[in-house]
Amino acid sequence: MRLLLAATVASTFTAIITILYPAHASEADASLVKYGEYLAIAADCSGCHNSATKGLMAGGLALHSPMGDIFAPNITPDKKTGIGSWSEKQFADALRRGISPTRGSLYPAMPYTAYNGLIDKDIHALYSYFMLGVPAIENASKETHLPFPFFRIALPVWNYFYNRPYKIKVRKSFPQLERGRYLVDHLAHCSTCHTPRNFMLAERQDAYLGGGKVWPWTAPNITPSEQGIGEWTTKDIRLFLTEGHNQYAVAGGDMGLTVQQSLSHLTDDDIYSIALYLKSIPAYTNSPDLDKDPPKKASLSQPVTELQFNTEQQLDDQSLDGSRLYQAACSSCHGVYGEGSQDGEHPSLWTNDTIRMKQPDNLINIISYGVHYRGLDQEHAMPGFVAKLNSAQIASLTNYVRNEFSGQSSQVTAEYVKKLSLYENNDYFIIKYVKIIIILAIMCLASLITSVLFWIRRKGG
Ligand code: HEC
Ligand code: HEC
Ligand code: HEC
């Protein structure tokens, strides 16, 4: 009886669906929406647009920039607070040109400088997914208010000069390499983090993927050079992008989230295309602060510290002794000698890219905030110590780890650690001097106008 009832309900439901959506259309829609969802994952839309409390694409995340916080809006199909009443053309303009019908010019924190190369077919699939596959959620997102002179009205000028697709020369091209390029440059927008920026905060095409900033993190050089990932095989790259770690590196900070939300869900073919493409791009070698010391050979006879080890040792509130701090905070997982754990869960510190890099920022961030991400294989977590250690202790721990495990002579100070945590370690020309330049320009203009008026008066008189 129950079975009969269930069958009747099911067939009635199918009949209603068939009347509402003709078979062809609904099948086509469903596969288009599914394809759109895959693209949205590859483009990591949810990485910025998800709301922790309201749900999928409901907006709210604050993106830190040196100018101030920029908030990601609600992009669910809600008609009042989302993009439910947008046409496909308006959606395409937001993605490729950074123009919104409600906000006007968008800040390039929305990566339209990468999405500008998305093909029409993919825009159509994304639009279908957002309109039909994402539930509408009412949530008015916070408005962004950046200080003078970073107002929206200045953006069309910036876009005119800087919203241009890349022209990177690769060795002889073929379809899989082209697919890799499309993913890296446009959908997965790797360059928005990994390419350094010029004095106007635009990506420098001459330093393509040569190492950029994602405050307070540094996204390393990922070109095939010594400063970058020249020694990695395509297999190493694939492992890193899907599982978040390999023998050289761990995906900390925003890279961990990129692996968790986006890259670990891509098809094997797409990941292989990305790896192949990264091996084919020009090697960038011109950023001395990203130089890496060669890996040091781990040696268990290394005299790490003269202290006797005690894994129970508690963090001492006052201690500024790096080796003591290491034994108390790190050795239980990474080993007394930094050798890592047998099962590979806790990496060896002797070969780690982050420790070998000349610039200490990522190591300071790892010690402060830890590591948290889920890769294809499992969850990875290391606790952060920012609440337990003060800036001076983090500085001396950083120096100890770098001196001990990579042989660098490290001189990080407490001030440097503090500045990094406040996103104050940038020296971008436009941010430092723009106000002075504008005031000077206004003074010049005012004196020019005064002299012209004076001249006209004198001629007239
Ligand atoms: C790195 C973070 C980031 C990613 C990834 C991202 N966005 Fe955005 N997006 C933003 C921010 C920030 C804004 C708001 C910019 C502003 O206020 O000027 C925005 C604005 C928008 C807008 C304009 C909304 C409005 O109401 O004006 C749309 C539409 C949009 N994003 C769609 C997408 C889609 C679709 C994707 C994936 C293909 C995506 N975004 C990926 C950060 C991001
Ligand atoms: C939101 C910013 C962001 C995006 C997008 C991003 N990355 Fe990263 N990436 C980082 C950061 C930050 C690190 C440093 C992580 C660490 O050291 O813990 C990193 C590290 C890496 C590394 C390790 C390099 C090394 O020498 O240790 C590789 C390889 C890499 N990313 C590749 C990519 C590729 C390929 C893409 C695009 C498919 C990409 N990333 C997109 C921020 C980003
Ligand atoms: C509870 C265990 C645990 C403790 C304690 C711990 N770590 Fe980790 N650490 C991890 C795990 C897990 C990872 C990530 C492993 C992975 O994803 O493969 C990691 C990763 C790292 C990395 C690589 C990050 C990167 O981006 O390349 C460094 C460097 C590191 N830890 C240093 C330290 C230092 C220094 C301390 C002491 C302040 C410390 N760890 C304390 C578990 C721990």
The domain spans of the chain are: 27-162, 175-290
Q: How far is ligand 2, taken at its centre, from the CA of residue 165, in Å?
A: 21
Confidence of residue 170 (pLDDT cuts 50, 70, 90): low
pLDDT of residue 330: 94
DSSP string of 130-173?
Answer: IIIISPP----PPPP-PPTT--GGGHHHHHHHH--------SS-
Q: How far is ligand 1, taken at its centre, from the CA of residue 227, in Å?
A: 32
Lowest mean pLDDT across 18-32, 195-209, 261-275, 311-325: 18-32
pLDDT of residue 368: 96
CA distance 163 to 388: 43
Q: How far is ligand 3, taken at its centre, from the CA of residue 92, in Å?
A: 41
- Which string of b and e fits 58-73 if b means at least 16 CB within 10 Å? bbbbebebbbeebbbb
Q: How far is ligand 1, taken at its centre, from the CA of residue 59, in Å?
A: 9
pLDDT of residue 293: 84
Helix (H) or strand (E) holding 99: strand 99-100
Q: Under a CB-based contact definition with an 8 Å cutoff, are residues 346 and 334 in contact?
A: yes
Confidence of residue 78 (pLDDT cuts 50, 70, 90): very high
CA distance 190 to 173: 20
Question: Considering only CA atoms, which of 188, 195, 258 is closest in space to residue 223?
Answer: 195
Q: What percent of the chain has pLDDT over 70?
A: 87
pLDDT score of 338 more than 60: yes
* Higher per-residue confidence, 408 vs 166: 408
pLDDT of residue 166: 74
| Ligand 3 atom nearest to CA at 398 | 35
pLDDT score of 25 more than 60: no
Question: Whose C-alpha lies nearest to ligand 1, atom 18?
Answer: 106
pLDDT score of 243 more than 70: yes
Measured in whole angstroms, the distance separating CA 92 from the mean position of its chain's CA atoms is 22
- Bridge partner residues of 212 (DSSP): 219
pLDDT score of 445 more than 70: yes
Q: How far is ligand 2, taken at its centre, from the CA of residue 11, in Å?
A: 50
Q: Which ligand is nearest to the CA of 127?
A: 1
Q: From 2.40.110.10, 3.30.70.600, 3.40.50.300, 1.10.760.10, which CATH number describes the 175-290 domain?
A: 1.10.760.10
Measured in whole angstroms, the distance separating CA 357 from the mean position of its chain's CA atoms is 19
* Higher per-residue confidence, 460 vs 360: 360
Confidence of residue 12 (pLDDT cuts 50, 70, 90): very low
| Ligand 3 atom nearest to CA at 363 | 29
Lowest mean pLDDT across 114-123, 247-256, 266-275, 449-458: 449-458
Digit-coded pLDDT (tens) for 371-396: 999 999 899 999 999 999 999 999 99
pLDDT score of 364 more than 50: yes
Cβ–ligand 1 distance for 75 under 6 Å, the answer yes
The three-class DSSP label of residue 14 is helix
Cβ–ligand 2 distance for 188 under 6 Å, the answer yes
Digit-coded pLDDT (tens) for 288-316: 888 888 877 765 544 444 444 444 455 66
pLDDT of residue 312: 45
pLDDT of residue 428: 65
pLDDT score of 195 more than 80: yes
Confidence of residue 60 (pLDDT cuts 50, 70, 90): confident
pLDDT of residue 252: 95
Residue 311, CA distances (Å) to 308, 314, 328, 404, 452 in order? 10, 8, 7, 19, 79
